[in-house]
Amino acid sequence: MDNFTFHNPTRLLFGRGQIAALDQELPADARVLLLAGGGSIKTNGVYTQAQKALGARVVFEFWGVEANPDFDTLMRAVEIVRREKIDWILAVGGGSVLDGAKFVAAAAPYSGDPWEILTTFGKNVRSALPIGAILTLPATGSEANAASVISRRALKEKLAFIHPLVFPRFSVLDPETTFSLPERQVANGIGDAFCHVMEQYLTYPAEAAVQDRFAESILKILVEVGPVTLAQPKNYAARANLVWAATWALNGAIGAGVPQDWATHMIGHELTALHDIDHARTLAVVLPSLLHVQRAAKRGKLLQYAERVWGLTEGSEDARIDAAIAKTRAFYESLGIKTRLSDYGVKIDTAAEVARRLQARGATGLGERGEITPAKVEEILRRAA
């Protein structure tokens, strides 16, 4: 296990009725910009609860943050923040709204072209407005991490930045707010969280027993509660465990001091930028194929995963690895998430195009050992045809 600093400053307010706690979390004289998506929070009552908790505070609203939040949309919110001297951002929605809030919070005080925040992975961020969040979709972990992923459709780009200043100061996690999610978004959330764990766990052994066992338990919980949540949308216990699992999948805990991969996400983001496929669905396409192509480098962990997560102990090592990869694919398919490029109408020439794009941005050595070259990316996507 390498040296590490684990710092997560986000206060989590978990459970039924916790939206009311906004009143204690936000200063009484805050000038708030409430950031929201396309309107789900109006139909499920979350907006009304937030309004009530905000009370007499000065609140501006910005609606229309789309799934895969867009730079051009968010720059309109940045204008409002600057013009109205907003001093708090309140994100109410899924990961896209939360990521959008992080970008707006960093872009408003930024003196240069805010696109640089993304092209430099957040290196130049010097200040950011405080952010609070009400999360309505368990998936990204954005509610308790410092990452933000922003798309720019005009340039066909999707880039991320990370900066400690954009950790939410607090996030409300009320599982009841997730009852209204359509099946597709529930499945996406489970699939995304599963992959977040895999990116931090399925690398090579690093003698990090706590991180390993914790990662394995999150994977098993996702496998258990995923189908229950889909079958019984109002099952509070299943929702609550799903929300908590997704938060811990990407709040830094299981990734502390261990090698991390993230190649599936890097490749997946290119597929979303080029073909507008839901984030989690791109991961379902890439992950099984990447595990296969990287099976030699990941051998130790693949065997551990096979045994501890899927209970596979019979047969040769290679047979167990094959079975674990097949289980991974079958899990995504069981959620209703297709795992082949052709399922999304994507032609195989995209393999070379994604490799070319990663090469052009200097991402030539992905994965835990930096050995996933553009040629390997192409191979991974060809196997995912």
- Please give the residue ranges that form the binding site for ligand NZQ (CB under 6 A): 37-41, 44, 67-68, 93-97, 99, 136-137, 139-142, 145, 147-149, 177-178, 180-181, 185, 188-189, 192, 250, 265, 279
Question: Which of ligand NZQ, Zn ion, none does residue 171 bind (CB under 5 to 8 Å by kind)?
Answer: none
The least CB distance from residue 379 to ligand NZQ, in Å, is 23
Among ligand NZQ, Zn ion, none, what does residue 67 contact (CB within 5–8 Å per kind)?
Answer: ligand NZQ
Calculate the CA 253 to chain-centre distance: 15
- Residue 308 Cβ, how far from ligand NZQ at the closest point, in Å? 24
211 binds, among ligand NZQ, Zn ion, none (CB under 5 to 8 A by kind): none
The vertex-331 CA angle with 330 and 335, nearest 5°, equals 110
Angle, helices 95-107 vs 71-83, to 10°: value is 50
Q: Which is nearer to ligand NZQ, 189 or 226 (CB)?
A: 189
Binding mask 248-287 for Zn ion (x = CB under 5 A): ----------------------------------------
Region from 30-38, 70-78, 105-113, 192-200 binding Zn ion, contact rule CB under 5 A: 192-200
From the list Zn ion, ligand NZQ, none, partner contacted by residue 90 (C-beta under 5 to 8 A by kind): none
CB of 139 to Zn ion, least distance (A): 7
339 binds, options Zn ion, ligand NZQ, none, Cβ within 5 to 8 A by partner type:
none
**Helix axis angle, 299-310 to 209-231, nearest 10°:** 50
Q: Which of 265, 251, 167, 161 is nearest to 211 (CA)?
A: 251
With tokens 């297709």, the residue in question is 338
Contact in structure between 125 and 165 (CB atoms under 8 Å) = yes
Closest approach of Cβ 268 to Zn ion, in Å?
7
Nearest residue by C-beta to Zn ion? Answer: 192
Neighbour count for residue 31 (Cβ, 10 Å): 15
Q: Distance of CA 74 to CAs 106, 164, 224, 357, Å?
A: 11, 20, 37, 24
Q: Which stretch binds Zn ion (CB under 5 A): 3-11, 45-53, 187-195, 236-244?
A: 187-195
Take residue 134 and report the two structure tokens written for it.
Answer: 């009400």
Task: Choose among ligand NZQ, Zn ion, none what residue 294 binds, the Cβ cut-off being 5 to 8 Å by kind.
Answer: none
Q: Residue 34 Cβ, how far from Zn ion at the closest point, in Å? A: 25
CB of 139 to ligand NZQ, least distance (A): 4
Select the binding partner of residue 325 from Zn ion, ligand NZQ, none (C-beta < 5 to 8 A, by kind): none
The string of DSSP letters for 246-302 reads HHHHTSSTTTTTS----HHHHHHHHHHHHH---HHHHHHHHHHHHHHHTTTTTHHHH
Shortest Cβ 153–ligand NZQ spacing (Å): 12
DSSP per-residue letters across 211-232: HHHHHHHHHHHHHHHHHHHHH-
Plot region of 132 (φ>0 → left; ψ -120 to 50 → alpha; else → beta): beta
**Could you tell which of Zn ion, ligand NZQ, none binds residue 145, using a CB distance below 5 to 8 A set by kind?**
ligand NZQ
**Largest separation between any pair of C-alpha atoms in the chain:** 66
Q: Is 192 in the site for Zn ion (CB under 5 A)?
A: yes
The two structure tokens encoding residue 157: 């780009």
The site that binds Zn ion (CB under 5 A) totals a number of residues, namely: 1
Taking Cα atoms as reference points, which of 252, 253, 341, 259 lies closest to residue 297?
259
User: Under the rule (CB under 5 A), what is the footprint of Zn ion?
Assistant: 192
